[in-house]
């Protein structure tokens, strides 16, 4: 993919920490649920919590690490796929960038 335009890059850099905060808040809420659910033993809850953190850490790394202009569209697609940006926030991007994100998120025809 070609690099993102400068105006879109500025929007992404501003929204990136907001999306990161949303992701972390969502993950922390999932952790509380996993740690406090009824039924399983403390050891089972610990294991579930460990697996959850490990999985979310991989997702976090893929979506948030290594923010560069050359990979900005891929980053934006990851953030949209994770539902970390609101419609008004996505509307801040150029038509070209929004179209690229929408195309990437469309289901593949089988």
pLDDT one-digit tens code per residue, 45-96: 999 999 999 999 999 999 999 899 999 999 999 999 999 999 999 999 999 9
Q: How far apart are CA 99 and CA 60, in angstroms?
A: 24
Q: How far apart are CA 78 and CA 97, in angstroms?
A: 13
Mean pLDDT of 20-24: 98
Q: Kindly state the DSSP code that residue 3 receives in the 8-state scheme.
A: P
Domain ranges in the chain are: 6-105
Report yes or no: 79 and 85 within 8 Å, Cβ to Cβ.
Answer: yes
Q: Tokens at residue 59, please?
A: 């997702």
Judged against a pLDDT cut of 90, whether residue 2 lies above it is answered with: no
In 3-state terms the chain splits into helix, strand, coil percentages (rounded to 5) of 75, 0, 25
Judged against a pLDDT cut of 90, whether residue 37 lies above it is answered with: no
Q: Tokens at residue 21, please?
A: 């905060």
pLDDT of residue 11: 98
Q: Kindly state the DSSP code that residue 91 receives in the 8-state scheme.
A: T
Judged against a pLDDT cut of 60, whether residue 109 lies above it is answered with: no
Judged against a pLDDT cut of 70, whether residue 19 lies above it is answered with: yes
């Amino acid at each position: 993919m070609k690099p993102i335009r400068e105006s879109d890059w500025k929007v992404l850099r501003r929204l990136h920490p907001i999306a990161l905060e949303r992701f972390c808040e969502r993950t922390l809420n999932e952790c509380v649920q996993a740690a406090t659910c009824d039924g399983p033993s403390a050891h089972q809850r610990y294991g579930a919590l460990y697996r959850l953190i490990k999985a979310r850490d991989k997702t976090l790394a893929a979506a948030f690490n290594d923010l560069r202009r050359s990979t900005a569209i891929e980053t934006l697609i990851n953030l949209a796929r994770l539902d970390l940006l609101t419609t008004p926030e996505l509307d801040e991007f150029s038509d070209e960038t929004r179209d690229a994100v929408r195309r990437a998120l469309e289901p593949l025809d089988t």
